[in-house]
Amino acid sequence: MPRPKPKAKPRANPKPRDIRFGHDLSEIQNADGVDLALIRANLRLSVEERLLALEAQIRLADALDAARKKKP
């Protein structure tokens, strides 16, 4: 006769899950909706890389702005 499986103990403080659209958003966002995955990606960069990424963002914004101004 097979042994009955032991019942899983409930975790002391289970992480609240936020299931929407079939995804567990609690894995990538905190309760305020801040994108933790993006922050973790930023933290893997050096400070210099973070500032270079910001410069690239500024150049993109400037280029889009210039293109918009050129439109008749």
Partner 1 sequence: MNFGLALQALAQHEIEFLVVAGVAAIAHGASTMTRDLGILYRLTPENVERLVRAFQELDAVSYGDPRRLPFEFSHLNNTGHHLAETRIGRIDALGSIGNDGEIVYEDVIDDAITLEAFGVSFRCIALERLIAVKEALGRPKELLAVMELKAVASQSDASLNDPGTRGGA
Task: List residues binding partner 1 (CB under 8 A).
Answer: 30, 32, 34-36, 38-40, 42-48, 50-52, 54-55, 57-58, 61
**What DSSP string runs through 16-40?**
PP-EETTEEGGGTB-TT--BHHHHH
For residues 24 and 18, give the distance between their C-alpha atoms in angstroms, rounded to a whole number: 5
Choice between 23 and 42, CB closer to partner 1:
42
Q: How far is the CB of 7 from partner 1 (least distance, A)?
A: 32
Nearer to partner 1, 61 or 63 (CB): 61
